[in-house]
Structure 1
């Protein structure tokens, strides 16, 4: 079917190809007079624009873990994403662990039953605490040494 409409000085030509499906959508400027049937309720379907490289990765996962098609892979990914706790005010950081540390991390997490994210968060907390304690300890040692020098020498001394 070819539909031709004239708006101001321009002719809009739209080619409408019919397929055997239940949903037909027309661009609003071309099909102003054609009304779409009212749908009871909101449709649970969503359309997505997925880059081709992501589609290739999705296709690679078809057939694993009982996923029969792309839709199963996408539904599984959405289900896992929604199962994650909402991020608080923190930001997301990606870290390349390298091949050796990746293997060690995977094995460690399997043995302990912890997620990689939990292990890395704990490691970051401990590293920050250690660095903070070390710097606090250095400051304390310096101030104690200065107090000792002040106590040992009087104020007229050149030691301070």
Structure 2
């Protein structure tokens, strides 16, 4: 693989969970070793609790702040903070509880979570289709009130 320059606006842009996800480095370009995704999360946005045992994810907050929740509790991640979700299936989610956009840089190892996002966008919110795609990619979707139980 040759070194490459990626422009600030290149890559496929998806509309996911009310946010905008840009596939900066698709996993198909890295032999599925990793993928990089820029996530722009509006106020109130973010995914429901979920887990994926075969992916390591790291999120670096480029702008704004989000609340990350895991079994260990909830933390506010402000600009410059990095959150690491190791492989193994830890349940996690994040929400933008502020009144401003948040922008995250997500790196996933190995790749293919970007492919999940592409297929998920095509469901247009159809939960049964989204659940089927989640199973295909080893992801477990949980209800929004998961942490309240």
Return the structure number with greater strand share. Answer: 2
Return the structure number with greater helix share. Answer: 1
More RCO (CA 8 Å, sep 6+): 2
TM-score class, shorter: under 0.3
Q: Which has the larger radius of gyration?
A: 1
